[in-house]
Homo-oligomer: A and B are copies of this chain.
Amino acid sequence: MAIITKRESTGFLIKQRAFLKLYLITSIENGRSYGLQLLDDLQKGFEIFGFRPQASEIYRALYELEDEEGILEKKKIPMEGTKRKQIVVYQIKDKEAAKSYKKLVKADLDRCSGLLKKALEDNYG
């Protein structure tokens, strides 16, 4: 019988997953889109920062927003310009939940900004 040990966070920086989930909510609020399109937007937007998220991370984030947080719901629609090809699009299912998730992430982003700011002051001040 295996012993399961739950692991604590030391509270360093925000996780990529949460960061992407924030962007996915906002993008979907601004009109529906689908996985690869969202990925492409993010990759282009962060190119100058040297950050290139992976497709699998996007799909995992979308899955969690739907299945764990209950913020999104999934729909299959025919892809534009095709008859039979379907794509998976998401829309906001629970506006309040979306709002409160974004609020949580904002607090963490602010915390992280403060942490980096402190490091810049302490080490290069």
Interface residues of A (CB under 8 A from B): 10-14, 16, 19, 22-23, 26, 45-46, 49-54, 57, 102, 105-106, 109-120, 122-124
Contacts and interface: CB of A to CB of B under 8 A. Distances in A.
A53 B9 CA distance: 10
Contacts of A109: 116, 119-120
A113 B106 contact: no
Among the interface residues A13, A52, A122, which one has the most CB atoms of the partner chain B within 10 A? A13
Given A23-B119, A113-B117, 5 more contacts: A10-B54, A12-B53, A49-B115, A105-B123, A113-B116
Contacts of A119: 19, 22-23, 109
A110 to B, nearest CB: 8
